[in-house]
Structure 1
C-alpha cells in the first residue's frame, strides 16, 4: 500500500516529536528518580546524560545506515529498540536497568535525520522543504511538550507513569512506521565503517561529558583540559580516518564545501547561545522566592513556561519555507539570530515578574524555530540526495556540542556567582549579557561566511 504524501508528512513529524519528547523525559524527572530509586541526584542525572550520549553516538551511525537501501528496516529496528528501552524504564527493576532503558531510548534520537532523508526521497521539493524544516524544529521545540506532560504525570502518578508516556508513544510510532514508512529508493548497499564508529563512540562522549561537567571545570581544571584535548585529538584522528576510508561513517569531504562548513560553524556558535538562555530561564523560574528572586515553580509549572517556546517555534517552522525564497539563507539566519538576541536582552533587563521570562522564552522559541528550520536548506542545497541523512547527522552532532557547551557555560557562570545554596541574581544578568555577546558574534559569523550555493 502506497502512503499518500499528506499521511507521510504527518508520520514524519510525529516521529520527530516523539524523539524530542523521549529525549526530554530525563530532565524534569531527575529529582523524582533519585527519590524513587534511592540514588543520589548525581546518579539520577545520568538518566538524562546517558540518553544524550547514546543519541550523539547513534546519530552518525543511523545516518550512514539510513543512506542505503535498508532504511526502512533500520527505522523499524530502532523504533523496536526504543520500545524495549521504554519498557525497561517502566518495569519495577533496579536503577541500572533504568539507565540501560534510557540509553536505548536515546539511541533513537538519530531517527530525525532518517525522517529528513525519507522526506527528501518521497516528497516533492516544496513539501519536502517544509517537512524537513518542521522536523528540524520539532527536534528542539518539542521538548516544550515533554516537560509539562512528564511533570504532570509524575505529580499525579509517579515517575514510572511519566516513563510510561515514552512507552506509549514509541509503540505508536513503531506501529505507524510499519504501515506508513516507504522503502528507500534503490541504491548501492553501504558498509558500516566499524572502525570509525568505535573511535567516534570514544571521542564524542568524552567531549560532551567534559563540556557538560561544571564541577570538573570548577574543581579540577587541569584534568578537564586534559580530557578536552584528548577528545579533540581523537576527533581529529577520526576525521583523518574518515577522509581516507572508501565508505566512511560520515563523508567528511562534504565539509570541504564552504556552505556546509559555514553552516555547521553557525550551528555550533548559535547553539551555545540558544541553549544558554533556555537553561537560564528554566532554572530561574524554579528558584524559590526565599533566594531573593525567582518564582519557586514546580516541575509541571516550569514545564508550562516552556509551552510558548514550542508553540512559537513551530509557528516559525511553518513560516520559514515561504520566507526563505524571498529573503535567502543568510538574511533568514541573521533575522532568526537577531530574534534570539532580543530574547537575551529582554531576560537581561527584565525578569522581576513571571510574565517577563515567559515572554523571553516565547521570543527565544520563535528565533530557535526559525533558525532550526532555515539550517537544513543551507546544507541540503549542496548535498547529494543519497547523503541527506549523513550530512544532517553531522549537523545534529554539532548542535549537541553547541547545546552542551551552552548548558555548561550557564552552569559555570552561575557557579561563579554562588556563595550559598542559590546563585545571586546578578549571576543571571552576567550570563545573559555574555549570551548577548555570543549571539552577536554569531550574527557577525553569519554575515561574513559563505552560506549560499556556489
Structure 2
C-alpha cells in the first residue's frame, strides 16, 4: 500500500499551454533554420553539397530515433523530466554547433538538436494530464498551429541572422531560446503523476532505432544516391529485416517499446495512416511554395524573390494556423476528432486544387498556401485527440510519439517525392534545366490525392470514441495490479476496463506477460472494474478506491472450457485421447480422459471445430462437430459397443496388427 504525496499548488492552464505551445515552435525552428544556408554551407565548411545535406538528414534521423524512445520514457519516468532532458540536449547541440567550427562538430550538434522533436508528443500528453477537459482541444490545436508559425518564421529569421551576424548566430539563438524554454518548463509545467513504472525495453528500442534509421536514410538519400543504388537498396532491406525481427519480439515481450496490439486497434491504426498521408500533403506545401517564389520570372510561374522575402510570404500561413486554432478546438469539442480530421483534410484538398488553377500572382500563391495550412492545422489538432481517446491514459506519451513518428515518415517521403518529380519534369532555361509548372501541378494533385486518402482513412475511425471525465491533475492517480487465476498465476492476454458507476468510461489497460496492469483514476470513489482474459469468464466488481490503496489484484474464477464424458455405451473410457481440431483441419489441443471418462480442453477462439475421441485399447474412434462462441461447451463422446467380428475381420486385424476402427 502506497500513499500519494500531498497535492502541489495548481498551475495556470494558460501558462502551461503557452510554454508547451512554444515548444512546438522551437521544434519547427530546429527543422528549418539551416535550410536557407544550405547553398552556402559547402563554401563555408569546404564540403560538397551532398555532404552539406547531412545537416538536415542528421536532425531527421536523430528525431526519428529519439521520439519513440523519449515518449516511452516519459510515460515511465516522468513527462516534465523528459522535456527538461531533451531541451538540455538540444541546447548542448546548439552550443556545440556554434563553437565546433568544423563540419563534424556541426553534424553532431544538429543531431543533438533533433531531440527537440520529442517535445511535441510529450507536451501534448502533459496537456491531457494537466488541463481541464474543456480547454484541451484548443490547447492541442494551438500547439499544432505553432508548428506552422515556427516553420514560417524559420526561413526569414535564418536569412536575417546569417546576413547580419554570421552563420553561427542561428545556433546561438537556438541555444538561447532552448535555455529560456527549459527554465519556463521547470517553473511552470508540473510533473505529472500519471506514469507506468516498469522495465524499459532496451532491445526493442535498439532494433526499432536501427529500422527507422535505415528506412529514413534510404528515403532521404534515395534521390541523391539513386533509388536503385546498392546503398539505398541495402538500407531498405535492412529496415525490412529489422522490422521483421522487431514486430514478433514486441508481441512477446512483457513491457514492449510500442504496444503493437493497441496500435493495431482500428481507431489508432486509421489515425496513424491518416497522419502519414497528412504529413505527406503538408510538407509538399512548404517545399513547393518557397521554390515557386524563388524561381526566375523567365519560367513563367516563378517570382524571383530572395530567400528572406520568400520566407516572409510564408508568415501569413503560420499566422492563419494560430488564428484558426480556436476553430479547430471548437470542431473537436462539438463534433469530435474524426470530423475535425475530415474537415482539415477537405480544406487541404480545396487549397491544392486551387493552386493548380490559380498560380500567376504572388497573392494567389500566398492564398493557396494559407488555405492548405489552415487545413493542416485543423487536421493536426485532431490527431492527438483521436489517439488519446483510443489508448490507455498511462500510454498517451508513447502513443503520441508513434503518431509524430508516422507524420515524420510522411514528411520525409513527401520531400523525396517532390524532389523526384521536380528533377524529372523540367524545361531548359539557358544552360540550366528547371522544373516546369507541370511538375508543380503533378505534386499539387499528389498532395490532394493524399489528403483525399486521409479522408477515406478517417471514415473507418469509429464515430464514437472514448470520452473520459475530466479530472484535476492533483487528484488523478495510477492504480496498478495483476489479473490472476485462482492459483494466482498471471493471466494473459487480458484487459482491465474501469468505468464510473454511471457507466462513463474512465480508463483501460492491456496486461503484460506477467499479468500487470496500470489504470489512471480521477480520484477516490467507487468504480466498476471489468477484467477479461482469453479463455476465462469475465469478472465485474465494484472497486471502492480510497485514494490511498494503489495496488489492487483481480482474480478470475471461472475458466471457459470444452468438457464432456467419453464412453462406450454406458461405460466410461479412461485414458482415451481427446483431440480438438479446427474445421479446416489444424490441430488445436489434446487431452486424456480421467478414470471417470471426463476430459477438459481450454476454450479456443470462436469458430467451428471437430472434437474426436480415440479408445486407448480398441482404437475405436468418435468425432463430433461443434460451434464455439464465448461460452463453455459440453460435448459427450459416446460410441456404441463393438459388434462381434467376422472371420475376415479377424484375419485383416491379424495382418495389420490392429483393431478395425468404427465410428
Q: How far apart in 2 are the matches of 1:387 and 1:370?
A: 24
Determine if the alignment matches structure 1 residue 322 to structure 2 residue 330. Answer: yes
Distance in 2, Cα, partners of 1:170 & 1:423: 38
Residue 440 of structure 1 corresponds to: 452
Residues 190-240 of structure 1, C-alpha deviations (whole Å, 9 max, x = no match): 432111111122111211122223425756367645532431342243222
Q: Report what 1:110 is aligned to.
A: 118
Distance in 2, matches of 1:75 and 1:218, equals: 38
Residue equivalent to 2:163: 155
TM-superposed CA distance for 1:433, in Å, is: 2.3
- CA shift, 1:22, in A, is 1.7
Equivalent residue number for residue 19 of structure 1: 27
TM-score by length of 2: 0.65
2:317 maps to 309
Note the 1:248-397 alignment, pairs <5 A: 248-397=256-405
Which range moves more in the overlay, 257-266 or 152-161?
A: 152-161
Distance in 1 (alpha carbons) for counterparts of 2:276 and 2:345: 13
Point out the more displaced range, 243-252 or 419-428. 419-428
Aligned-partner Cα distance in 2 for 1:137–1:229:
37
**Unpaired segments of 5 or more residues in structure 1?**
none
Would the aligned equivalents of 1:218 and 1:412 in 2 still touch at CA under 8 Å?
Answer: no
Does the 8 Å contact 1:267/1:398 carry over to 2? yes
Taking structure 1 as reference, are residues 349 and 391 closer, same or farther at Cα in structure 2, changes over 3 Å only?
Answer: same
By how many angstroms is 1:165 displaced? 1.7
Normalised to the residue count of structure 1, the TM-score between the two structures is 0.94
Q: Tell me whether 1:119 sits opposite 2:127 in the alignment.
A: yes
Deviation of residue 62 (structure 1)? 0.7
Counterpart CA distance in 1 for 2:396 and 2:60 is 22
Aligned equivalents of 2:145, 2:254: Cα separation in 1: 33
Q: 1:332: Cα distance to partner?
A: 2.1
**SS of residue paired to 1:422:** strand
Q: Deviations over 1:42-74 (max 9, x none)?
A: 211111111111011100011111002433332
| Matching of residue 175 in structure 1 with residue 183 in structure 2 | yes
5+ residue gaps, structure 2, are 1-7, 467-663
Select between 158-167 and 441-450 the one with higher mean Cα deviation: 441-450
CA distance in 1, matches of 2:337, 2:244: 29
Partner of 2:442: 430
CA distance in 1, matches of 2:168, 2:262: 43
**Pair 1:9 & 2:21 matched:** no
SS in 2 for 1:364: helix
Contact 1:259-1:451 within 8 A present in 2 as well: no
State the Cα distance separating 1:371 from its structure 2 match. 0.5
Task: Please state if 1:421 is matched with 2:429.
Answer: no
Conserved in 1, the CA contact under 8 Å of 2:278 and 2:376? no
Q: Distance in 2 between the 1:197 and 1:302 partners?
A: 40
Whole-Å separation in 2 of the counterparts to 1:438 and 1:6: 35
* Separation (CA, whole Å) in 1 of partners of 2:100 and 2:265: 51
Counterparts of 2:243 and 2:289, CA distance in 1? 33
> In the alignment, is the contact (CA less than 8 A) between 2:34 and 2:158 conserved in 1?
no
* Range 322-331 or range 153-162, more displaced: 322-331
Between 1 and 2, higher relative CO (CA 8 Å, sep ≥ 6) is seen in 1
More helix per residue: 1
How far does residue 189 in structure 1 lie from its aligned partner after superposition?
Answer: 2.5
Give yes or no for contact 2:134–2:333 (8 Å, CA) kept in 1: no
Distance in 2, Cα, partners of 1:262 & 1:452? 14
Contact 1:258 1:451 (C-alpha < 8 Å) held by counterparts: no
Question: CA-to-partner distance for each residue in 1:16-42, whole Å, 9 max, x for gaps?
Answer: 221221222232221232232222222
After TM superposition, give the deviation of residue 161 of structure 1 in Å: 1.4
The count of corresponding residues between Structure 1 and Structure 2 is: 454
C-alpha spacing 1:236/1:286, structure 2 compared with 1 (3 Å): farther
> What's the offset of the Cα at 1:141?
4.5
1:381 match: secondary structure: helix
8 Å CA contact retained: 1:64, 1:190: no
Identify if the C-alpha distance between structure 1 residues 38 and 223 changes in structure 2 by more than 3 Å, giving closer, same or farther.
closer
Deviations 1:66-104 (A, max 9, x none): 002433332222211111111112225211111111111
Q: Report which stretch shifted further, 285-294 or 352-361.
A: 285-294
Which residue among 197, 200, 207 is the counterpart of 1:199?
A: 207
Q: Give 2:409's match in structure 1, choosing from 401, 411, 422.
A: 401
SS in 1 for 2:435: coil
Aligned to 2:193: 185
SS in structure 2 at match of 1:421:
strand
Question: Aligned partners of 2:229, 2:105: CA distance in 1, in Å?
Answer: 33
Cα root mean square deviation, aligned: 2.1
CA contact 1:31–1:41 (8 Å) conserved in 2: yes
Given that 1:378 and 1:452 are in contact with CA atoms closer than 8 Å, whether structure 2 keeps it comes out as no
> Structure 1 residue 414: deviation in Å?
1.2
Q: Give, in whole Å, the separation in 2 of the partners of 1:210 and 1:132.
A: 32
Compared with structure 1, are the counterparts of its residues 213 and 450 closer, same or farther at alpha carbon in structure 2 (3 Å cutoff)? farther
Q: Deviations over 1:115-150 (max 9, x none)?
A: 112211122112233222322333354211222211
Q: In 2, Cα distance between the equivalents of 1:219 and 1:403?
A: 18
Q: Which residue of structure 1 lines up, in the alignment, with residue 236 of structure 2?
A: 228
CA distance in 2 between partners of 1:348 and 1:189 (Å): 52
Secondary structure of 1:31's partner?
coil
Residue range with higher mean Cα deviation, 105-114 or 56-65: 105-114
